[in-house]
A and B are shown apart, each in its own frame.
Chain A
Amino acid sequence: MISTNIDFTRKRSSWWKRNQQRLTPWIFLAPGLIFFCIYVIGPIFGSLTISLYKWDGLSPATFVGLKNYILLLDDEYFYISLWNNLKWLIFFMLAVPIGLGLAIFLNQVIFGIRLIKSLFFFPFVISQVVIGLIFTWFYQPKYGVIAPFLNLFGLEGFSILANETSATYGIIFAGLYPQIAYCLILYLTGLNNLNQEQIEAGRMDGAKGFSLFWNIVLPQLRPATFLAIVVTVIGALRSFDMVAIMTQGGPYGYSNVLAYYMFEQALSEYGYRMGYGSAIATILFFIMMIYIIFFIYKMYQNEKKG
């Protein structure tokens, strides 16, 4: 009896020893994977399912097939939100070149530059909600900070956030404020790691000014640029908090984005359309997927090269 027992344990421990190398990474990954499945993968399929139902979140749900998506195709506000998402993607990108410009401007050695740099970085530290609130006050047609400037242009009493065409741009502008600071810090670290020898070599070959920047400095900043674009795209797609604070999608839905429209339909004070909200979320998910697949593909290519 005793001997068989020992045999058994020896066998087991040897199996463990043989596979230890292969198993260890999975054991270390397990906690993360489990939570990723419960809180990310699970809900994705959950909301895909809910999008096929008509459900108010309280009563039993009824299966309606693709009806939510058909309704979505006939929904003006959906197209407005989609269009606004596109505006966000395009104009939010301004943060990258502006951040780069500021980074180059700040990348000098003078007295007190550290303090100045940290002041420029400050907006990123402030919460988005606070920035949204402050910009709403800036935009106040009569008492806001920008009112005197608007008066200069003959736009007396013009309210940026109450106008259906300017509201989205007003919010994007407020969103740019912290995003530029983010890009700035990415580029500042990039500029610290520039290879001075290459620049010297370029100088000797007669490159200066813009051509020096374009052909020698910018290529070296590629990792920073890549990262800045990635964060900015993600920032643009999840532009929820600014919209919620500044306009709540108003005036009459014209500054809505998909993320906020989903919230409005499913979860807000008057929102009892869980199925419809999930359908919007699904569309947003697929839009993000396009981008994420592109991003992963690019990373994979880069790693193969490296």
Chain B
Amino acid sequence: MKKIITTLLLIFGFTFSTSYAGTLVINTDTSDPAPKAAFEMIIKKFEEENPDVTVEWNLFDHEGYKQSIRNFLNTDPPDVANWYAGNRMLPFVRAGLFEDVSDIWADSGWVDGNLSENMEHAKKSMTIGGKQWGIPYTYYQWGVYYRKDIFENLGIDVPTNWSQFLAACATLKANNVTPITIGSKYLWTTAGVFDYLNLRTNGYEFHMDLTLGKVSYTDPKVQAVFDKWDDLVKPGYFLENHAALSWQEALTPMINGEAAMYVMGNFAVAPLKEGGLTDDTLGFFQFPEITAGIPKAEEAPTDTVHIPSKAKNKTDAKRFLIFMSRADVQEEINKTLGQLPINKNSGVKEGDPFLAAGLNMLNNAYAMAQFYDRDAPAEMASEGMKGFQEYMSNPDRRQKILERLEKVRQRVY
């Protein structure tokens, strides 16, 4: 009995001791190798610069985190938690679980230069109700990854407009190469295609209006997006059976040379190279123009850090957020991650043609969309992406799907 009591005391004593001032509890979902290494390094650096703070880091499994964050923000809040920008943080902001950090964005004295200026392009996606709720530290580009060697063999040039793109698809198809690979089992890959067709057909403002629920899904402009999608779906330019494949499984046809293009995020480069592709066989190009004259906006999903409003050590948490916004810190993180820093004074890893292309593209971008499932609220996003997948398998059902999505829109917003 005595033993049990002492152990209990020890346990409680331990939990109490973790919450004294000077301890900073950080929860992250960075369980994949590169993000894990990046956070390990950055936490070490933070502790070296701030010897009075001890960081206690809880590493969560990437998928499990999406559920656990709802629990720990309420019951056992850390001082810092990572999450995503856009409407993805809306449920937490609305429930009052994230701390307003507008002061960090406003007070230029705290950081090198002015934060709002250095990260101006990302400020919008961190703003809800006129306030900023976190600090972005990394993002990556989306676009079309393609097999350079197949394009060269068939004499295809990198397409820059819609008719060239369709012609490239037709040539590939005629030569028994699947023009575009995709794995839609987990739905979100379809949203990447939809977003780009929408951004190029109607522009960034319409994308935001749609994801904010201001426009109807039966709007002629949405129909126009699906007309363009028809151009690809109806001749069978997408990989067959995509609904049974995850995005990783859909890489295989591309590695084997059975498919030539993939509308994807930059994270696809690492597994493609592991599969045997090199800088000579794998290339990247910006999603081609559809409606001439519409300024090109890009998809650039942003990862962020936040302070839970029930955090115990908010002072040190703010120090950490300011630290994470610094140009040199973002440069180091992103060199490890193989992604792009938000702070425009940060340098980028050299010798990586994909990052260079991405940086160039994003620096010239008109605006940045987060992604359909981060810009639209969760309920709308899940139904929307289900609809996109159904459309890609049954293009004839377009009208029925759009009417259903319209019904969902009216319920959600």
CA distance A71 to B408 in the complex (A): 11
A252 engages B387 (CB within 8 Å): yes
Q: Is A57 an interface residue (CB 8 A)?
A: yes
Do residues B95 and A251 form an inter-chain contact, with CB atoms below 8 A? no
In the complex the two chains form, is B387's CB within 8 Å of A159's CB?
no
Bound together, the chains give a CA A164 to CA B97 distance in angstroms of 40
Is B244 positioned at the interface, with any CB of A under 8 Å from its CB? yes
Alpha-carbon separation in the docked complex, A251 to B387 (Å): 10
CB < 8 Å neighbour of B97 from A58, A159, A160, A248: A58
A93 CB within 8 Å of chain B: no
Determine whether the beta carbon of A270 is less than 8 Å from that of B70: no
Given A59-B95, A159-B244: A71 in contact with B381 (beta carbons within 8 A): no
B305 within 8 A of A: no
Assembled-state Cα–Cα distance A268/B186 (Å) = 12
Q: Is the CB of A251 within 8 A of B393?
A: yes
B66 CB within 8 Å of chain A: yes
Chain B residues within 8 Å of A264, by CB:
382
How far is it, in angstroms, between the C-alpha of A247 and the C-alpha of B187 when the chains are bound? 11
List the B residue with the shortest CB-CB distance to A252. Answer: B390
In the assembly, what is the distance between CA of A273 and CA of B185, in Å?
A: 22
* Contact, CB under 8 Å: B244 / A272: no
Decide yes or no whether A53 CB sits under 8 A from chain B: no
Cβ 8 A contact of B242, one of A58, A143, A160, A162: A162
Would A252 and B94 count as touching, CB distance under 8 A? no
Cα separation A271 to B378 with both chains bound (whole Å): 7
Closest to B63 in A: A269
Chain B residues whose C-beta falls within 8 Å of the C-beta of A251 in the assembled complex: 184, 243-244, 389-390, 393
Q: Within 8 Å of chain A (Cβ to Cβ): is B67? A: yes
Q: Which B residues lie within 8 Å of A269 (CB)? A: 66, 378, 382
Question: Within residues 219 to 266 of chain B, which ones have a CB less than 8 A from any CB in chain A?
Answer: 240-245, 249, 252
List the A side residues contacting B244 at CB < 8 Å: 139-141, 159-162, 251
On whether the beta carbons of B95 and A56 are closer than 8 Å, the reply is yes
A76 touches B91 (CB 8 A): no
Evaluate whether A58 and B74 lie within 8 angstroms (CB atoms) in the complex, with A141-B241, A270-B378, A270-B381 already known: yes
Q: Give Cα distance in the complex from A97 to B75, angstroms.
A: 50
Q: Which of B245, B373, B389, B393 contacts A270 (CB 8 A)?
A: B373
Does A250 interact with chain B (Cβ within 8 Å)?
A: yes
A56-B90 Cα distance, complex, nearest whole Å:
12
- The answer to whether A164 and B393 touch across the interface, beta carbons within 8 angstroms, is yes
Instruction: Decide if B3 is an interface residue (CB 8 Å cutoff).
Output: no
A148 within 8 A of B: no
Which residues of B (104-125) have their CB < 8 Å from a CB of A?
Answer: none
* B240 engages A141 (CB within 8 Å): yes
A270 and B185 in contact, given A58-B91, A58-B92, A251-B389 (Cβ under 8 angstroms): no
Nearest CB in chain B: distance from A144 CB, A? 10
- Is residue A42 within 8 Å, beta carbon to beta carbon, of the partner chain? no
Shortest distance from the beta carbon of B220 to any chain A beta carbon, whole Å: 24
If A141-B244, A159-B243 touch, does A250 touch B185 (CB 8 Å cutoff)? yes
Q: Give complex CA distance A251, B378 in Å.
A: 19
Chain B nearest CB: distance from A246 CB in Å? 10
CB nearest neighbor in B for A276: B379
Which chain B residues lie closer than 8 Å to A268 at the CB level? Answer: 382
Contact between chains at B241 and A159 (CB < 8 Å): yes
Query: Nearest Cβ in chain B — how far from A69, in angstroms?
Result: 14
A83–B393 alpha-carbon span in the complex (Å): 21
Residue B411 at the chain A interface, CB threshold 8 Å? yes
* A271 adjacent to B404 (CB under 8 Å): no
CA distance A267 to B185 in the complex (A): 19
Contact with B along A126-149 (1 / 0, CB 8 A): 000000000000011101000000
Q: Is A101 an interface residue (CB 8 A)?
A: no
The 0/1 profile, CB within 8 Å of B marked 1, for residues 263-290 of chain A is 0100111111100000000000000000
B residues in contact (CB < 8 Å) with A: 66-67, 70, 73-74, 91-92, 94-97, 184-187, 240-245, 249, 252, 373, 378-379, 381-382, 386-387, 389-390, 393, 404, 411
Given contacts A58-B92, A269-B378, 4 further A-B contacts (CB under 8 A): A57-B70, A58-B94, A157-B240, A270-B373
A: residues with CB less than 8 A from B are 56-59, 71, 76, 139-141, 143, 157-162, 164, 247-248, 250-253, 264, 267-273
The 5 A-B pairs at the shortest CB distance, nearest first, are namely A270-B382, A162-B244, A159-B241, A58-B95, A252-B390
A-B contact pairs, 21 of them (CB 8 A): A57-B70, A58-B70, A58-B74, A58-B91, A58-B94, A59-B94, A59-B95, A159-B240, A159-B243, A161-B243, A162-B245, A250-B185, A250-B187, A251-B184, A252-B386, A252-B387, A252-B393, A264-B382, A269-B66, A270-B373, A273-B379
